[in-house]
């Protein structure tokens, strides 16, 4: 992302209204998560030998106080990320240590390395 766009993104992250919008995006129910997970188990897709890298943030930063513990949500998130990587026999899961949800903005070097790994000829 160009430097000017990165600066705008960082500025936008300081705006109070952005946090309200984020919270609205994160409204979901454990039942909905379970339904989506069960649907994926029923209708498995496979990428065969297609190279695949799944990038995920290191920590989901779930808050306590919901009907499911933050630890259980984090465990489920990690399992689902690993499940995505298993869609290919050459799938790989990488946790981004320097990033939250916006890995492409917060750790672009990791994204670039991952893309290069996928498009470079196998040795």
Which tens digits make up the pLDDT trace of 2-43? 788 888 888 888 888 877 777 776 676 778 778 877 877 776
Q: pLDDT band at residue 114, thresholds of 50, 70 and 90?
A: very high
Q: What is the pLDDT of residue 77?
A: 85
The whole-angstrom separation of Cα 39 and Cα 36 is 5
**Full-model pTM:** 0.64
* Closest of 41, 80, 78 to residue 59, by C-alpha: 78
Count of Cβ atoms closer than 10 Å to residue 54 Cβ: 19
The answer on pLDDT for 123 being more than 70 is: no
Q: What is the pLDDT of residue 52?
A: 93
* Closest of 118, 113, 109, 110 to residue 91, by C-alpha: 118
Q: pLDDT band at residue 95, thresholds of 50, 70 and 90?
A: very high
The answer on pLDDT for 60 being more than 90 is: no
Give domain limits for the chain.
Answer: 3-119
Q: Which two tokens stand for residue 49?
A: 């030998």
* Closest of 63, 94, 75, 89 to residue 37, by C-alpha: 75
* Beta-bridge partners for 16: none
The answer on pLDDT for 46 being more than 90 is: no
């Amino acid at each position: 992302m160009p430097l000017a766009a990165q600066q705008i993104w960082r500025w936008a992250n300081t705006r109070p209204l952005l946090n309200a919008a984020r919270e609205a995006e994160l409204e979901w129910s454990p039942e909905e998560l379970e339904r989506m997970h069960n649907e994926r188990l029923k209708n498995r897709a496979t990428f065969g030998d297609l190279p695949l890298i799944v990038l995920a943030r290191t920590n989901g930063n779930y808050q306590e106080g919901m009907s499911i513990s933050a630890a259980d949500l984090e465990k489920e998130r990690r399992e689902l990320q690993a499940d995505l990587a298993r869609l290919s026999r050459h799938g790989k899961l990488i946790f981004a240590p320097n990033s939250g949800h916006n890995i492409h903005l917060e750790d672009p070097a990791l994204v670039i390395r991952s893309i290069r790994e996928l498009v470079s000829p196998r040795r």
